[in-house]
Amino acid sequence: MKVAIQGERGAFSHEAARRMLGTDVTVLGKPSFDALFAAVADREAERGLVPIENSLAGSIHENYDRLQASPLHIVGETQLRIRHCLIARPGTTLESLRRVASHPVALAQCRRFFAERPDVEAVAAYDTAGSVLDLMKGAATYQGAIASALAAELYGGVVLREGLEDDPQNFTRFLALSLEPGPVEAATKTSIVFTLDNEPGALHNAMGAFASRGVDLAKIESRPLRGRPWEYAFYLDILGDPRGPAGAGLDALRAMAPYLRVLGSYPDGLKRASS
């Protein structure tokens, strides 16, 4: 199966793709999220894997916007523990490192490592796995890179240290996208986007479509409507079999929402603390 990701092979999206779709997936690295969405829409790849939310940084809002604008369906999700590794060329020692590169978000998640080593400079790069790739090519201005263990494996780097991240509760939620919807029989979660009339109680009534049926909501997110300042679209993740009360709630919401689109029904892939 061909899977499109944003970034170089060995990115955390690549790890998520292997976990979700098997280690024999063929991963196509794309330079941007727009290119990733286009690759799936044009059938160059059968699936696209996009990060949608990080447990520390929050939602990746641009990808919510892309979901709404694209014809793709969400067919699955997974969560990946983001475990940053310090990677170098074989023979390099931890003590000899002076410059260490990675994507700025990864560098920001490893502040403690740099604080403890004032002689090591953090260098911003375009991609986590890409910084390992450039390092292994031998033309980099740095001696170490921070990326996934998979990136070290793919490009022949050595992991000098694992778990560089400041906070171990660092998970990213990834969505699997496809041109065709997934099988409804397997679905236990449904993601939708909708608008509401601008009147008191509108959001309460919308939530009531689910609460009155005992249906649980996993997440709500708001995004601005273009050209209508201070009005919003809402993204909602609804738990439960879409053929049961969750679907009935969705029908009730559809009757009150000026705009509503189902982004996909798929198996819930998140591990939550017990409620």
Q: Which residues bind a second copy (CB under 8 A)?
A: 53-58, 61, 79, 167, 169, 171, 173, 197-201, 203-205, 207-208, 210-211, 214-224, 226-232, 270-273, 275
Q: Which is nearer to a second copy, 71 or 229 (CB)?
A: 229
For residue 26, the minimal CB distance to a second copy (Å) is 30
**Minimum distance from residue 61 beta carbon to a second copy (Å):** 6
DSSP calls for 77-114: EEEEE---EEEE-TT--GGG--EEEE-HHHHHTTHHHH
Residue 75 contacts residue 181 (beta carbons within 8 Å): yes
Q: Are strands 121-124 and 99-102 parallel, antiparallel or unpaired?
A: parallel
With contact defined as beta carbons under 8 Å apart, do 92 and 160 qualify?
A: yes
Supply the minimum distance, in Å, between the C-beta of residue 101 and a second copy: 19
Q: Does residue 54 sit in helix, strand or coil?
A: strand
Annotated catalytic residue: which of 12, 33, 37, 174? 174
Residues 6+ apart with CB under 8 A from 1: 21, 22, 24, 25, 26, 46, 47
Q: Which of residues 137 and 226 has its CB atom nearest to a second copy in the complex? A: 226
3-state secondary structure of 168: coil
Q: Is the CB of 92 or the CB of 170 nearer to a second copy?
A: 170
Give min distance, CB of 211 to a second copy, in A. Answer: 3
266 in helix, strand or coil? strand
The two counts, helices (H) then strands (E), for the chain are 9, 15
**Smallest distance, a second copy to C-beta of residue 218, A:** 7
Q: Please tell me which residue in 172, 190, 194, 210 is annotated as part of the active site.
A: 172
Cβ neighbours of 141 (radius 10 Å): 9
Our CB check for a second copy shows the closer of 135 and 215 to be: 215
- In the residue annotation, 174 being an active-site residue is answered as yes
Q: Which is nearer to a second copy, 58 or 71 (CB)?
A: 58
H/E stretch holding 250: helix 245-256
Residues annotated as catalytic (active site), given as ranges: 172, 174
